[in-house]
Amino acid sequence: MTTIYNFSAGPAVLPKEVLRQAADEMLDWQGSGMSVMEMSHRGPEFISIYRAAERDLRELLAVPDNYRILFMQGGGLSQNAVIPMNLVGRKAQPATIDFVRTGSWSSKSIKEAARYANVNVAASAEANGYTAVPPQSEWQLTPGAAYLHLCTNETIDGVEIDFVPEVPADVPIVADMSSHILSRAVDVSKYGLIFGGAQKNIGPAGVTVVIVRDDLIGYALPICPSAFDFKNVAENDSMYNTPPTYGIYIAGLVFRWLKEQGGIAAMERKNIEKARLLYAALDADDFYQNRVAPAFRSRMNVPFYLRDESKNEAFLAGAKARGLLQLKGHKSVGGMRASIYNAMPIEGVQALVDYLNEFAER
């Protein structure tokens, strides 16, 4: 049987060890006689699952004590509304949110936030085709902004921000880390809020992780739904409403798996190796093209194009026959995309590299 490697951008590959454990526990979680999907979210069994997941994530990211970890619903996209409804109330109205536009997802965030506050696009990479992050010296930040919003890894465009911007002390940084959270070391204390949809590097679709500093909680606008008010969610340990219990369970297994791999530092070393291997193959000749400036190339999401795009369908058909799946690029940009998240083994990247070389030679 052909070994399958799934390069989907999300929902994405999960560690095989996690899937096997979930399968083993599907009908009976640790002798409870229940599947996790059947448990009350207020029962002792699920509470223990939740506590372990929260504890392991806090340990993995070295989350300071003055930050709350929230497991919410609605996906990362919903946070584009939830976050302004929770944070702009700290400032006199109308408040202004600063954004750096680096690709498709930050553009979506800008559009949604404009419904709740004034929006200032402090810098935009649109002119360079979303291939590089504008130098911070060119950013036009708003004094006293409610916050600065960044998408630190653009899943579609393959642009990654690997630095923490310098901002005034009273302006928190909000970071959408959906597609590279847990893939590299991050100093949580440099951010006011970090969020990410689970379906890329954490677990199945349906869970959104929010890491928010205590002093930013409690300012929700009156229009904010009570289930999305960070204060309500934090005071009820993410159980103000029924949380996505099975998704939290799988996320907890992934956190435990990451610890077994050596934690974030060990995972980052592996991710650097995988990315170098793939980009080297793409850069070897002019048959393939990655358009992102090398300094801003994502380690997680690698978009690329065949110089002769008439060969796209043949490339995808050959890849599928090799067990290399979900390589078609996002519909908005075309081409190809290989997402090489934590759970993608280096053997999968090597198999893709071998196919890239073989297809180019043919």
Catalytic residue among 56, 157, 176, 229: 176
User: In whole angstroms, what is the distance from residue 263 CA to residue 246 CA?
Assistant: 23
Query: Where do the H-state alpha helices sit in 218-262?
Result: 230-235, 245-260
Number of other CB atoms surrounding residue 124 within 10 Å: 18
Q: Return the ∠ at Cα 274 (arms to 269 and 277), rounded to 5°.
A: 125
User: The tokens of 287 are what?
Assistant: 């048959």
Known catalytic residue: 170? no
CA angle centred on 201, ends 198 and 207, rounded to 5°: 10
Element (H, E) at 56: helix 44-61
Q: Could you say which DSSP state residue 205 is in?
A: T
Active site residue: 29, 98, 200, 257, which one?
200
Nearest-10 Cα torsion for 345, 351, 352, 357: 150
Please enumerate in sequence order all residues whose Cβ is within 8 A of that of 180, keeping only pairs 6 or more positions apart, or say none. Answer: 152, 153, 160, 201, 298, 299, 300
**Catalytic residue check, 331:** no
Q: C-alpha distances in angstroms, 283 versus 155, 204, 290?
A: 20, 33, 8
Per DSSP, the residues of 66-84 read: TEEEEEESSHHHHHHHHHH
Find how far residue 88's CA is from the centre of its chain.
23
176 is catalytic: yes
- Residues annotated catalytic, as ranges: 105, 176, 200
